[in-house]
Amino acid sequence: MIYLDIALPIPHFSNFTYKVSQGKLKNMEKEEIIGRRVLVPFRNYGLTGIVVDISEEKPDVEVKEIIDFPDKEPLFTKEYIDIVKELSEYYLSPLGMFFYYIIPEGLRWEYNPKTKRWIKKVQEDKVYVPNVLTLADIPNLSQKGRELLEYILERGEVTAEEIKEEGFSLSSLKTLIKKGLVKEVSYIFREEAKKYFLKQKKTVKPYSLPSGKYLYNTEVFRKRIFTYISLFYDAIRKGESSLLIFPNIKSVETVYSFLKKEFGDKIFLYHDRISNKEKIRNWFSIKNLNGTITIGTYTSLFIPVKNLRYLILEEEYSDAYKNRRTPKFDARRVVFSIQKKKGITAIYSSTTPSMESYLALKKKIFLPVNRKNIFSQAKGKIQIVPFETFNAVKKLLLEELKENKKTLIIANKKGFSSFLFCDVCETEIMCNQCDVPVKVHKDDKYYLKCSACGKKYQYIKNCPDCENPLKEVGFGIDKIVELLKKNNIQFSFLEDSKKTDIKLTVSLLGKEAIASIFDKIINIYPDFILSIPDYKSEEKFFRSITIPFFKTKDRYILITNESDSKAVESLKNKNLSLFYEREILERKELDLPPFARYILLTFEKKNLEIEDIRDLFNKWIISHKISNIQYEGPLYARISKIRGKNRIQIILKNFEKKELLIDLYENALKKGIKLNIEIDPKEIK
């Protein structure tokens, strides 16, 4: 008997032991078992897990036997298991939950105890293998049957399509199966013999970067992409692979279709909107083939790419790189872990890098890709217009849109109005289950929507308490849409593939790959970003005003009242480090990230009170004899209620013994309080 350490998808901070008999092992080597997907009985149902370790010692607890190893090969290599383990510990996310999330969706099989069957989510590939060793001494076999058996023996393993292509009929195959001469085998993935073609264009010079961590902020996106092409050609020549990550699917698809022309069958796509079948096929192809290129979202970071050489994280500043659900992780850190483990070349790219990356470059933890001046690649004129009223903005827009130029309008805000306000009661109209004012939206008609829980409400004109007419406060993208429609101006959204001269978007952040160059860009009042109580607000504001400039050919019109801020100063002076240097000083003075590490604890329960949490927290500190702990709270969260549950927060600063928080999590859970632990939160209020 052999015992397996299996990570199962349940929020429990330990693995589970199962036994496996020699028969089920089918002569597998130890290395072929670790990293494998495994089906196990669990209570009265079943689960899909990942084998993370093997032992021959009998454990203390009573253990069950596994059901099956459904795959031909492991999903993960030992290296990647170590990387995922490290991340799971860092982010306090259970290992099994981590693995379950990062494997292709089609492999997350579920057991239905009623029908006693596994729901497999994808169709398996069926192949046919010989069940005899030679053709000799087989009586009663037709000429056709003999020829087919000979063919299957020769190939070792064939599909029904291949049998048909060879000119055999499927009924001959059926006869052979009936006679027990051929066996049908199901695989979730069968490696395909790929026909590669690759004609390198003469214009592209292969280029290589030695292993290490790089910051690439010296060139705009359209130049960076050609650097990647050069790197990819160099890697392919050596049989090495590359992984290029974007913060959203639209960017992935745009770049994929562009690079497909260049690299043909060498290139793979991986994100959550491709089919389950394709995801599985691509996973194994990328794992097994030499010299591939993968374009994907952050889920593709966990594919154990064969011979990985270049790992590129595009627009590395993007908030989308932080997964806010379990398993919690930040793509930037995942890239860091993979680089450290494998000694590859990792490139963090963006026009406006994150503060962390900028500081890492300063400290020489990151290397520069080159030393070009990014401002020499943008020639637009910056025009700063103060904001007065929304009516003035409307007038400016109509005037500017008269010119037949390729124009982009950035609205900076979703929805129609920010909220509804009653002058008499002096209150905002709130969501009835959250502590959030409802936002006014307008698609075909007006409606109200809560931005916290997503609940929609009918539009109301008058205050439900005093019946006085309500005032709409603020303006979002839906109001710009209304203006353009009223004036019969042809437009489309930036994210649509439709071709119009006028494009509209909420924000350009994370969309550098989607947006082309515009003659004119109008950025409407991004100032509100500064009013969000978060230490990253200035950085976000800086990015929102800077990125559009690098997409402008002639005129960049920025509507703002913040022209004295360090962000606008730095843009006007065409010197981005002006902003970064000043921001770094401020962060250092206030002891904010990246100079301090924070952990945000959010407790959620109906009718939860500050006292409950203070009790719970103090008991935890005493029971673990924790001293010198720096924290703030417990306090009500900025959004003090979501879906009827009160939210109370504690912020820990530079807390080292993270693993003790598991105990706090479990103590809270015993009282029906859900604790959300966020390591390195992206917002601190």
Partner DNA sequence: AGCACGCCGACT
Partner DNA sequence: GTCGGCGTGCTC
Question: Which region, judged by CB under 7 A, interacts with DNA, from 3-11, 135-143, 234-242, 534-542?
Answer: 3-11
**Interactions with DNA, residue window 157-186 (CB under 7 A):** none
Residues 138, 75: Cα–Cα separation, whole Å = 40
Residues 554, 571: Cα–Cα separation, whole Å = 16
What are the residues whose beta carbons fall under 8 Å from the beta carbon of 512, sequence distance 6 or more? 220, 221, 251, 314, 315, 350, 351, 547, 550, 551
* Site string (298-327) toward DNA, x via CB under 7 A: ----------------------------x-
Report if residue 61 touches DNA, rule: CB under 7 A: yes
Provide the minimum distance between the beta carbon of 48 and DNA in the complex, in angstroms, as a whole number.
11
Question: Which region, judged by CB under 7 A, interacts with DNA, from 4-12, 146-154, 276-284, 410-418?
Answer: 4-12
Report if residue 457 touches DNA, rule: CB under 7 A: no
Report if residue 64 touches DNA, rule: CB under 7 A: yes
Question: Which region, judged by CB under 7 A, interacts with DNA, from 56-64, 417-425, 587-595, 612-620?
Answer: 56-64
Provide the minimum distance between the beta carbon of 668 and DNA in the complex, in angstroms, as a whole number.
11
* Residue 116 exposed, middle or buried by CB count within 10 Å (0-12, 13-18, 19+): exposed
SS3 6: strand
SS3 224: helix
Nearest C-alpha neighbor of 9 from the set 83, 86, 105? 105
Nearer to DNA, 427 or 433 (CB): 433
Nearer to DNA, 119 or 532 (CB): 119
* Residue 610 exposed, middle or buried by CB count within 10 Å (0-12, 13-18, 19+): middle
Greatest Cα-to-Cα distance within the chain, rounded to the nearest angstrom: 99
**Interactions with DNA, residue window 521-580 (CB under 7 A):** none
Report if residue 670 touches DNA, rule: CB under 7 A: yes
The size of the interface with DNA (CB under 7 A), counted in residues, is 24
**Interactions with DNA, residue window 324-343 (CB under 7 A):** 326
Report if residue 16 touches DNA, rule: CB under 7 A: yes
Nearer to DNA, 45 or 528 (CB): 45
**Interactions with DNA, residue window 24-53 (CB under 7 A):** 41-45
Report if residue 270 touches DNA, rule: CB under 7 A: no
Q: Where are the alpha helices (DSSP H) in 426-554?
A: 477-486, 537-546
What are the residues whose beta carbons fall under 8 Å from the beta carbon of 504, sequence distance 6 or more? 408, 409, 411, 477, 480, 481, 484, 491, 492, 493, 494
Nearer to DNA, 178 or 670 (CB): 670
Nearer to DNA, 461 or 670 (CB): 670
**Pairing between β-strand 293-296 and β-strand 241-245 as defined by DSSP bridges:** parallel
Q: Where are the alpha helices (DSSP H) in 471-626?
A: 477-486, 537-546, 566-572, 576-589, 610-623
Q: Which listed residue (2, 54, 63, 453) binds DNA by CB under 7 A?
A: 63
Nearer to DNA, 113 or 454 (CB): 113
Report if residue 368 touches DNA, rule: CB under 7 A: no
Provide the minimum distance between the beta carbon of 619 and DNA in the complex, in angstroms, as a whole number.
16
Q: Do 436 and 443 contact (CB within 8 A), yes or no?
A: no
**Interactions with DNA, residue window 96-115 (CB under 7 A):** 113
* Site string (462-491) toward DNA, x via CB under 7 A: ------------------------------
Question: Which region, judged by CB under 7 A, interacts with DNA, from 8-16, 68-76, 339-347, 569-577?
Answer: 8-16
Length of the chain: 685
Q: Cβ of 8: how many Cβ atoms within 10 Å?
A: 22
Residues 471, 478: Cα–Cα separation, whole Å = 17
Report if residue 116 touches DNA, rule: CB under 7 A: no
Residues 388, 396: Cα–Cα separation, whole Å = 11
Binding site for DNA (CB under 7 A): 9-12, 14, 16-18, 41-45, 59, 61-64, 113, 326, 606, 670-672
